[in-house]
Each structure stands twice: as C-alpha cells, then as structure tokens.
Amino acid sequence: MVTPSPKPIKTYVVVNPKAFNTCHLQIHHDNRPILWAETKRAFFSKPQVNLHTGSEDGPIVAAAKLKPMSSSFLVAFGDAAAKEIWEKVESGSFTKKQYGFTFQERQYCWRRTHDKSLGASSMGSQDFKLLDATDDKTVLAAYINQKWSTREGKGRIDWMAELGQDVEIMAIAVLLGLAMRIRAARSAAAGGAGGGGGGGGG
C-alpha cells in the first residue's frame, strides 16, 4: 500500500538543454540526467516522443504519440516500435482537466491543479497532480510547469510517494504525451485564429 507524504520525498527536474527547443529534454534527479526524451517528427505522421534510459541513444523505456483528429493520445511501456502495444490515454472531461491511464492493473490520472500548496499557479493551465483513480484526494506526484526557464529547468515533478521505477516511467511518458497534446491544441487554435482574421486562441 502506497502511503504518500505531505511533502515531496524526491524531485525530478525537466531540463531543456537547448533553449526554446522542446524536441530534446532531459529528466534530472539530484542534478544528474536519468532519462532522455526525444520528440521525432516525420511527414504524414503525428509526432512521437521516446523516453530513453542510460543516454540519449540508450534503450527506449516508454513512448507517447498523438492520434490523428483526436484529443486523446497513445502511450507504451518499453520499446513501442518493437512491440506496437499502445494504450489510449483519454481526457476524463470535456474541459480536458484530467487524463487517465491504466498500468499494472491500477488506474491513475494526471489532473490539472491550481493548488498553491503544491506550488501550482492559480492562473496556469499546465500544472498537474497525479492521483490514484480510486482515491482522488491523495496526491501521488505533482508536475509544476516553469515555462519561461531554459537550462535551469522547464518544470519539476515532485513525488509524494515511492511508486516504483516502472510506474514513474509510465507516468512521465503520459505527462510528455499530455504536453504534446497541449502544444498541438494551442498550435491548431493559433492557426485557426490567424486564418479567421482574429479571435481568441486556446
């Protein structure tokens, strides 16, 4: 049974080695990279982010990719290219406030948060907390976006419980897919607003 702490037991920092380029990210713990996230884009296909361990060219331990014409996206644990076993991650509401996934027969969800006690912004839309779907009052982790930083960190993941390496990797893959989904939605909204000669963006 996981017993969350009221304060983070550890923090991972999402580092952007190349300022303003989100195609190559690193996940750091104690100032050392432990995971590398590479977004691949190809003509006539949706972008896919691969999560590597060991180095930026190391084994793929998880992946996420967008679905055409859909607000959902797909994630896979392990090398998705080799297994082609993808799980659908769907929004749990019309307002896109949470995204749920199942791993090792347990259901989790990343839910948008404005909880200041977690460090979230009261006005932002890219801060999320990780919940067990059967107990949505217990926070397992929190992702706090730091959008204007560059090398100092694009965001941080505060873990309130020890979930195990596999669950952490899957949760991070879903988080990366969620970030891709948000960027794609904003890009589409900006393109629609520009084409319409004005109008609010997403």
198 has a pLDDT exceeding 50: no
Please indicate, yes or no, if residue 195 is contained in any of the structural domains: no
How far apart, in whole angstroms, are the C-alpha atoms of residue 180 and residue 64? 9
Question: What tens digit of pLDDT does each residue of 117-151 get?
Answer: 999 988 777 899 999 988 878 999 999 987 644 44
Please indicate, yes or no, if residue 198 is contained in any of the structural domains: no
Question: What tens digit of pLDDT does each residue of 99-125 get?
Answer: 899 998 899 999 999 999 999 988 777
Please indicate, yes or no, if residue 95 is contained in any of the structural domains: yes
Query: pTM for the full model?
Result: 0.84
Please indicate, yes or no, if residue 1 is contained in any of the structural domains: no
Please indicate, yes or no, if residue 184 is contained in any of the structural domains: yes
Please indicate, yes or no, if residue 117 is contained in any of the structural domains: yes
Q: Are 76 and 86 in contact (CB under 8 A)?
A: yes
199 has a pLDDT exceeding 50: no
Domains of the chain: total: 1
List phi, psi (to 5°) of 82: -80, -35
Query: Can you state the percent helix, strand and coil of the chain, rounding each to 5?
Result: 20, 40, 45
Please indicate, yes or no, if residue 122 is contained in any of the structural domains: yes
Please indicate, yes or no, if residue 3 is contained in any of the structural domains: no
Domain boundaries, position 51: 10-189
Give the model's confidence band at 196: pLDDT under 50 very low, under 70 low, under 90 confident, else very high: very low
How far apart, in whole angstroms, are the C-alpha atoms of residue 127 and residue 25? 18
